[in-house]
A and B are shown apart, each in its own frame.
Chain A
Amino acid sequence: MRAMSAAARRLLTSAVTLVLVTLVVFAVLVALPGEGPGDEESARRLPENYRAALRAQYHLDDPVLVRYGRWIGDLARGDLGASLRERRPVRALLRERLPVSLALNATALAAVLLIATPLGIAAAWKPGSGWDRVGHATTNALYAVPVFWVALLLQWIFAVRLRWLPLFGIEGDQAAQGAIARAADVARHLVMPAACLTYGSLAYVSRFVRAALVEATSGDGGRPARARGASALRYVAVHGIRQAAVPLLTLTGFLLPRLVGGSLLVEEIFNVPGLGSLLFDSVLGRDVPVVLALTLLTGAATLAAITAADLLAAWADPRVRHGV
């Protein structure tokens, strides 16, 4: 019962947060110079009556709150509006871009978890051992390598020199025949961008896994398993992970918002038509409906992940559950 009302309260505050955030984003976008047929630049280029007609068509002269209210009203009916730059429904743009970002970031996220978890286990197996220290130093160094530098290096080696992988984009010039050939073509395009999104997170994630496992196995909790004669590695990898399940799930929850918003720079460099590059172009082009929709999408993902992590922690810990 308590948990239910807590969840409902969180949902409500999250909705309020999203409304406030989109309102501020809207106000900032409108206040920035260069919004369509209203600034000095277009005043010089367009005849006055044409400008007035455009401004009336897009309701640019209404007060900010009225325009925001109209956006919220449309949103309530499931209408995200139309892009000012591309003159297409925002919904169509998202349907086109979202799968690209999801494919790229899900690949990267899977790679992060697949590489960092064994690293964390190896480190927690014998804290302070050579494995622990080398892994720590290596992932730390990787974190410090700037992503656009790695992107340049990878492009130069694998695309320019070796010609193994395509330089940028998401699909080859000639549309590949058949679903399998097309998927393989897309996969080849995703290798370098996904690699760029992977290496920097290894330090944080592997250290998180290590800390959770050390915490879980250093107390009395693991003693029965050891007493039954479980090997040291089995003890850490099996019993530790079972006991550290909540922090590990929390971590995964925190990483999930990246699925929609984590790849702006990489998408720009590799010319990947995902949500990140859409946000970049839309912010620079003051495309208000698109920026608002993207803020809503990434914001909802972020809040959902945080809320889920909190509720999970509350459910797992009786002290939190009862508010001690």
Chain B
Amino acid sequence: MGSDRRGPRLAILAFAGVIATGLAAPWVAPEPNRVDLERILAPPSSDHWLGTDGLGRDVLVRLAHGARVSLGVGVVTALLSVLIGLPLGAIAGYRGGFWDGAVSRAIEAALCFPALLVALAILSAGPGWLVRLPDTLRIAAALGFLGWTPAARYVRAEFLRLKGDEAIQAARATGASTFRVVTRHLLPRSLGPALVTIAFGASAAALGEAALSFVGLGISPPTASWGEMLFEAMRHMGTAWWLALFPGLALFVTVYGWNGLAEAFRRALEPRPSPS
């Protein structure tokens, strides 16, 4: 077991670094948009550890502020997905029959929507209160609106499995109401699946935010986002490698970190040692 634990540990350490950098950013490096006109497109040096971009802005500082966007969007999107997906999946799995059919059709409908149109509609128009929200929340809304389907499917399968569980059947046999069975027996045990879903959701949302910002629909400049930084890097391809390398690395570490967390949750949930 020794060697397969070292990789994840390293990844989790790097992920913790990203989180710490994001948390510390406003205090340590409060000015992500400060321009150093003397050093435009400067390679990494002791002044600018990870170099500067085409406007002379420090890449490391912008990375740190981009971490806030990526992590923020990830967590809020995942929470949103669980808030929508968990109740729906729970009803479908526990009640079955008509409810299962209804939720399954809703999931199919969500899968048929062009995600890009939904994102554009929520990000560019939407009702007034939505437009006035901070970028991070609006992007999370755009991603969470269709992003709840994996959560619903996962929770549905878990509840389907739990329904036949002896403890649940015993509770029902002793006369517990459906409400009591759901709130006292099923929900506490769905906490684990919810955690797994949140971590996986945050990973998908981090990629989604970067993709939206990459095509210019996400964070509005000059706010720093890894996707937007990678888009900028495309213009300096071949001349300024540091512009593309570091945002990509940060995104990789974050997505890998969320996934590692999700797998750790899942493994902790399994009472018996799995064959993996």
Expressed in whole angstroms, the Cα–Cα distance for A303 and B108 within the complex equals: 7
Contact A127 B117 (CB under 8 A): no
Closest to A284 in B: B120
**A214 and B4: CB pair below 8 A?**
no
Asked whether, in the complex, the Cβ of B112 is within 8 Å of the Cβ of A303, the reply is: yes
A160 contacts partner chain B, Cβ-Cβ < 8 Å: yes
A283 cross-chain contacts in B, Cβ below 8 A: 114, 116-117, 120
For B147-180 the 0/1 string (1 means CB < 8 A from A) is: 0000000000000000000000000000000000
- Decide: A280 and B116 in contact? CB cutoff 8 A: yes
Task: Report if A148 contacts B (CB, 8 A).
Answer: yes
Flag if A29 contacts B233 (CB, 8 Å).
no
Q: Does A162 sit within 8 A of B, measured CB to CB?
A: no
**A295 near B4 (CB under 8 angstroms)?**
no
What residues of B have a CB within 8 angstroms of the CB of A20 in the complex?
A: 109
A146-B248, A265-B215 known; A279+B116 contact, CB < 8 A? yes
Contact of A302 among B111, B214, B237, B256 (CB under 8 A): B111
Are B244 and A153 interface neighbours, CB within 8 A? Answer: yes
| Interchain nearest-CB distance for A86 vs B (Å) | 19
Of B105, B207, B214, the contact of A17 (CB 8 Å cutoff): B105
Taken residue by residue from 184 to 219, chain A's Cβ proximity to chain B (1 for < 8 Å, 0 otherwise) reads as 000000000000000000000000000000100010
Selected contact of B259 from candidates A24, A140, A265, CB within 8 Å = A140
* B210 at interface, CB cutoff 8 A: yes
Contact between chains at A21 and B276 (CB < 8 Å): no
Cα distance A161–B237 in the bound complex, in angstroms: 11
Whether B129 is near chain A, meaning CB under 8 Å from some CB there, is no
Which residues of the partner chain A approach B13 to less than 8 Å between Cβ atoms? none
Chain B's closest residue to A257 (CB) is B111
Cα distance, A136 to B255, chains bound together (Å): 16
Q: Which of B109, B210, B227 has the most CB of A within 10 A?
A: B109
- Closest A residue by C-beta to B227: A148
* B276 lies within 8 A of A13 (CB): no
**Chain A CB within 8 A of B69 CB:** no
Contact call A21/B113, Cβ cutoff below 8 A: yes
Q: Which of A132, A161, A299 contacts B112 (CB 8 A)?
A: A299
With A and B bound together, what is the CA distance between A148 and B7 in angstroms?
Answer: 25
Q: List 29 A-B contacts (CB under 8 A).
A: A14-B108, A25-B113, A25-B117, A28-B118, A32-B120, A32-B125, A128-B275, A141-B252, A145-B248, A146-B211, A146-B230, A148-B214, A149-B230, A152-B237, A153-B244, A155-B237, A156-B237, A156-B244, A161-B238, A214-B275, A280-B215, A283-B117, A291-B117, A295-B112, A298-B112, A303-B108, A303-B112, A306-B108, A306-B111
Residues of A within 8 A of B (CB): 13-14, 17-18, 20-21, 24-25, 28-29, 31-33, 127-128, 132-133, 136-137, 140-141, 143-149, 152-153, 155-156, 160-161, 214, 218, 264-265, 268, 279-280, 283-284, 291, 294-295, 298-299, 302-303, 306
Write the residues of chain B forming the contact surface with A, with a CB cutoff of 8 angstroms: 3-4, 7, 105, 108-109, 111-114, 116-118, 120-121, 124-125, 203, 207, 210-211, 214-215, 227, 230-231, 233-234, 237-238, 244, 247-248, 251-253, 255-256, 259, 275-276
Closest 6 CB pairs of A and B: A299-B112, A149-B248, A144-B256, A144-B255, A127-B275, A133-B4
